[in-house]
């Protein structure tokens, strides 16, 4: 049986609540809508960590953050950790990455045979937090309220330039795969939008009536972790006006539509190259964005707008259905292997996810009371690990230095009522507390987080002295072999790069 291609399109910091595909009345996402209309839409998908690099390392490895020490945005992703790219490569897939993955360390491929672009963020240990000084801000790279106060319109930004390049090289490679008859292939196309700064080009900004932009609808969070986040991003001392909040949300919506256009561009390339019918397309994100809800911005919390992600799957064998059963990004590795028909291949490492393919293809019943998503946060604006369990209708959040939180997301989707001390939910809260104690050794994890932070700060200080040795990925290009050169016949070059080929001609 022919193995389908796999193309995953990833956004950065995209909350599903702010997409038309997931029911927002204003935000325009026609290409995500179209995929959802012919595929499976997971309505309770979560990231494994509400921060870029940890979430991505976990997603690629199918392992939870604490298992692979992927604690923060400066944690090294070891080359010895198997990823879905490694597994699919062993199964005969061509593996390719275009765009962001925030790999930290000298290995900048992690199973991908090729990367078409460099990364957008640094690949060293510069962004290491310090849990021994948890109240100390690192101004150079911590989020602050400037992204909200300076939101608006611009002709270009470094993020726009990056995403234009990411889409261009991905589309070109898709057509080259068709010309060269490469099959099967797995491509990840990973964009930075709608991640802050909240700055959009005019054509995307103008899609929306500024006065119609909805404002945050939930009261300011009062729990200790939220207060730490407010301090960390300076929301406790820097006031923002309603107009600045509206500008930020307006730009975010605009950039969500911009990201959606890139989804459409990738799908169009697959269709025009004759490969769409043989390709599973997945759209997701590394985490969400609070966007002013609960008085919070950006991510770093397990509230729904930060912790949930879109997950839409379409393609051959996928059933049209909305799926309420909780799941997470760690489930994608075993799902991909199921799609590829790999079977019981030796993983080489423990896998924390489960295959979602039976849910996606309709062979398994959707059980909203079953399934689970596990989350871990061990990065800035914290001093101790934060754990999350989403199972059925309930979400439980634990941190050793904070009161526990228990939410009934069916009855209270905006997480306004903490049921952890509610007598009617005492048994449920106690069961979750027992599970947390059995699942995690919080003291040991904290000790390891601090130990790795010390190591990384020492390495970074040394690397900043003397001659710079950069880990940042250098895309391979040989201009002497591109387009038309003297050692080529231009008519042959034109023939080889034309798709579809003229009748009776096939590219060599």
Q: What is the pLDDT of residue 17?
A: 98
Catalytic residues: 52, 102
- What share of the chain has pLDDT > 90, as a percent? 90
Among 395, 425, 422, 431, which residue's Cα sits nearest to residue 410? 395
Nearest to 48 by CA among 60, 65, 36, 61: 65
Radius of gyration of the chain (CA): 23
pLDDT of residue 138: 78
pLDDT value of position 143: 87
Question: Do 3 and 338 touch, CB atoms closer than 8 A?
Answer: no
Q: Is 309 strand, coil or helix? A: strand
pLDDT over 80 at 84, yes or no: yes
Per-residue confidence at 136, pLDDT binned at 50, 70, 90? confident
DSSP of 97-132? EEE-----SS---TT-SEESS--SS--SSTT---TT
Task: Write out the two tokens for 180.
Answer: 């060269």
Report the pLDDT value the prediction gives residue 505, as an integer from 0 to 100.
Answer: 59
Averaged pLDDT for residues 123-148: 89
Q: Is the pLDDT of residue 416 over 80?
A: yes
Asked if 376 and 388 count as a contact pair (C-beta separation under 8 A), the reply is yes
What pLDDT, on a 0 to 100 scale, did the predictor assign at position 504? Answer: 64
- pTM for the predicted model, two decimal places: 0.97
Q: Which residues contact 21 (CB under 8 A, 6 or more apart)?
A: 29, 32, 33, 35, 36, 41, 310, 312
> Average pLDDT in the 280-295 region?
98
User: Is residue 468 predicted with pLDDT exceeding 80?
Assistant: yes
Confidence of residue 141 (pLDDT cuts 50, 70, 90): confident
Confidence of residue 137 (pLDDT cuts 50, 70, 90): confident
d(CA 462, CA 58): 28
Q: What is the dotted CATH code of the domain comprising 5-373? A: 3.40.720.10
pLDDT at 507 over 60: no
Specify whether the CB–CB gap between 85 and 185 falls below 8 A: no
Rounded Cα distance between 382 and 226, Å, is 10
Beta bridge partners of 321: 40
Q: Give the H/E segment covering residue 394.
A: strand 394-399
Q: What is the pLDDT of residues 251-276, one digit of tens each?
A: 999 999 999 999 999 999 999 999 99
Q: What span, in angstroms and rounded, lies between the C-alpha atoms of 386 and 452?
A: 17
Q: How confident is the model at residue 502 (pLDDT cuts 50, 70, 90)?
A: confident
Per-residue pLDDT tens over the stretch 196-236: 999 999 999 999 999 999 999 989 999 999 999 999 999 99
Crossing angle of helices 332-339 and 52-61, in 10° steps, is 40
The residue extents of the domains of the chain are 5-373, 477-508
pLDDT band at 370 (very low <50, low <70, confident <90, very high): confident
Residue 220's pLDDT is: 93
Tokens 């423990």 -> residue: 350
Here the contacts of 65-70 (C-beta below 8 Å, separation 24 or greater) are: 65/376, 65/377, 65/378, 66/376, 66/378, 66/385, 66/440, 66/445, 67/350, 67/352, 69/448, 69/452
pLDDT score of 345: 65
Confidence of residue 506 (pLDDT cuts 50, 70, 90): low
Between β-strands 40-42 and 311-314, what pairing exists: parallel, antiparallel or unpaired? antiparallel
The rounded mean pLDDT for the chain is 95
């Amino acid at each position: 049986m022919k193995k389908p291609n796999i193309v995953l399109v990833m956004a950065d910091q995209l909350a599903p609540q702010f997409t038309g595909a997931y029911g927002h009345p204003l935000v325009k996402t026609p290409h995500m809508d179209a995929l959802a209309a012919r595929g499976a839409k997971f309505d309770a998908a979560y990231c494994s960590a509400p921060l870029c690099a940890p979430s991505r390392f976990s997603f690629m490895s199918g392992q939870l953050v604490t298992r692979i020490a992927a604690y923060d945005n400066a944690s090294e992703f070891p080359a010895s950790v198997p990823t879905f790219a490694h597994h699919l490569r062993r199964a005969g897939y061509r593996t390719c990455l275009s765009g962001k993955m925030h790999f930290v360390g000298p290995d900048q491929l992690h199973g991908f045979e090729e990367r078409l672009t460099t990364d957008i963020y640094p690949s060293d240990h510069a962004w290491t937090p310090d849990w021994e000084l948890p109240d100390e801000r690192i101004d150079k790279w911590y989020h602050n309220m400037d992204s909200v106060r300076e939101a608006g319109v611009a002709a270009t930004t470094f993020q726009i330039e990056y995403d234009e390049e990411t889409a261009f090289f991905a589309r070109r490679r898709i057509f080259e795969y068709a010309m060269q008859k490469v099959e099967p292939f797995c491509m990840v196309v990973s964009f930075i939008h709608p991640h802050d700064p909240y700055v959009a080009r005019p054509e995307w900004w103008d899609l929306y009536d500024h006065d119609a932009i909805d404002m945050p609808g939930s009261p300011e969070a009062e729990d200790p972790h939220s207060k730490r986040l407010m301090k960390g991003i300076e929301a406790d001392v820097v006031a923002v006006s309603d107009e600045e909040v509206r500008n930020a949300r307006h730009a975010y919506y605009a950039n969500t539509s911009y990201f959606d256009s890139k989804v459409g561009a990738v799908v169009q390339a697959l269709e025009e190259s004759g490969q769409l019918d043989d390709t599973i397309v997945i759209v997701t994100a590394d985490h969400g964005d609070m966007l002013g809800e609960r008085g919070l911005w950006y991510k770093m919390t397990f509230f729904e707008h930060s912790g949930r992600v879109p997950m839409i799957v379409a393609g051959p064998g996928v059933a049209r259905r909305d799926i309420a059963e909780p799941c997470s990004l760690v489930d994608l590795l075993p799902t991909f292997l199921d799609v590829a028909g790999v079977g019981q291949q030796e993983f080489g490492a423990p896998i924390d996810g489960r295959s979602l393919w039976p849910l996606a293809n309709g062979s398994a019943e959707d059980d909203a009371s079953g399934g689970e998503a596990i989350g871990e946060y061990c990065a800035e604006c914290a001093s101790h690990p934060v754990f999350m369990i989403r199972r059925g209708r309930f979400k439980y959040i634990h941190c050793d230095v904070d009161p526990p939180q228990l939410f009934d997301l069916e009855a209270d989707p905006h997480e306004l009522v903490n049921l952890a001390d509610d007598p009617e939910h005492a048994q449920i809260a106690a069961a979750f507390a027992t599970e947390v104690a059995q699942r995690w050794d919080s003291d040991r994890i904290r000790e390891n987080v601090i130990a790795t932070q010390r190591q990384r700060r020492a390495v970074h200080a040394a690397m900043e002295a003397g001659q710079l040795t950069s880990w940042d990925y250098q895309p391979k290009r040989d201009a002497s072999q591109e387009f038309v050169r003297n050692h080529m016949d231009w008519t042959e070059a034109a023939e080889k790069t034309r798709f579809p080929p003229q009748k009776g001609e096939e590219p060599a």
